[in-house]
Amino acid sequence: MLFQMQENVGIIILTFNALQKWHVTYLKLAMPHCPNCQSTKIKKNGKKACGKQNYLCKNCFRQFIGDHALTYKGCHSGLIHRILLMLVRGIGIRDISVIQEVSVCKVLSVLVNSHYVLTPRKFHYETLEVDEFWTYVGNKGKKYGLLYAYECQGGEIVAYVWGKRDLKTAKRLREKFIKLGVSFGCICTDDWQSFITIFKEDNHVVGKSHTVGIEGNNCRLRHRIRRAFRKTSCFSKKLFNHLKAFRLAFFYINYGYV
């Protein structure tokens, strides 16, 4: 029998013993822990006006009521990490809201307030693959393009730019390499004219057979980011949220955590 008291979560086991009497065993499952430093060195510190037990962390002196006693689940200490992880594993905003029993606004605020910076892991890359990736913002008729460079060996997204499918955007991607201080041995693209024009001075390899790695990554992006799923009605309503969702997924692909 699982029950939840005001301060502890535990199990009550009822057994019928040899003396024909019920024997009650109480097993404590989880002690509240500090939401700030995750320490379990805590002590009781009076009660709140609403009657809930208040705790004090002996380590960082943060006062809190345990996660189990929260009225609104949106304040749970492990929730933000779980939401971020679900966002980069192909689960949509509304699905997360239902699964975690929080509002859609809470999920969106976690996405909007995520600050991840992508920095290249190396200064020189032997081979870089460049390709474009179509997404939708506003409605399914409005396309918004992503141009990015990918290193197949390390599985890393090195640089990316957003914009229309034109020479200007391709130019911005090349400028991004200079801005990031990244050099490359050879660059592989498909036979789009803008790529041929922009990378004519570099060691440029043209052909679909050389961009197999990045095509595979495009497939991964379409599985990992809900708003990029194909043949669905999913799309981003807001450009700002769109850019945030992609940056979060790129960070997860590059570093393996969020």
CB nearer to Zn ion: pick between 59 and 241: 59
Stretch that binds Zn ion, among 17-25, 49-57, 68-76, 248-256 (CB under 5 A): 49-57
Q: Is the dihedral angle over the CA atoms 215, 114, 164, 92 positive or is it negative?
A: positive
Q: ∠71-75-78 over CA atoms, to 5°?
A: 120
| Residue 109 interacting with Zn ion (CB under 5 A) | no
Rounded CA-CA distance 55/39 in Å is 12
Q: Does 31 bind Zn ion (CB under 5 A)?
A: no
65 near Zn ion, judged by CB under 5 A = no
Cα–Cα dist 9/78, whole Å: 17
- Give me the phi and psi of 160, to 5 degrees please: -150, 150
Binding region for Zn ion (CB under 5 A) out of 31-39, 43-51, 127-135, 164-172: 31-39
The residue behind tokens 């969106």 is: 108
Phi, psi of 32 (to 5 degrees): -60, 145
Residue 29 lies near Zn ion (rule: CB under 5 A): no
Unique residue bearing structure tokens 């945030």: 244
The letter for the amino acid at 236 is S
Piece of 27-35, 163-171, 195-203, 238-246 that binds Zn ion (CB under 5 A): 27-35
Is there binding between residue 63 and Zn ion (CB under 5 A)?
no
- 59: contact with Zn ion by CB under 5 A: yes
Q: Is 34 in the site for Zn ion (CB under 5 A)?
A: yes
At its nearest, how many Å lie between Zn ion and the CB of residue 7?
Answer: 17
- Interacting residues toward Zn ion by CB under 5 A: 34, 36-37, 39, 57, 59-60, 62
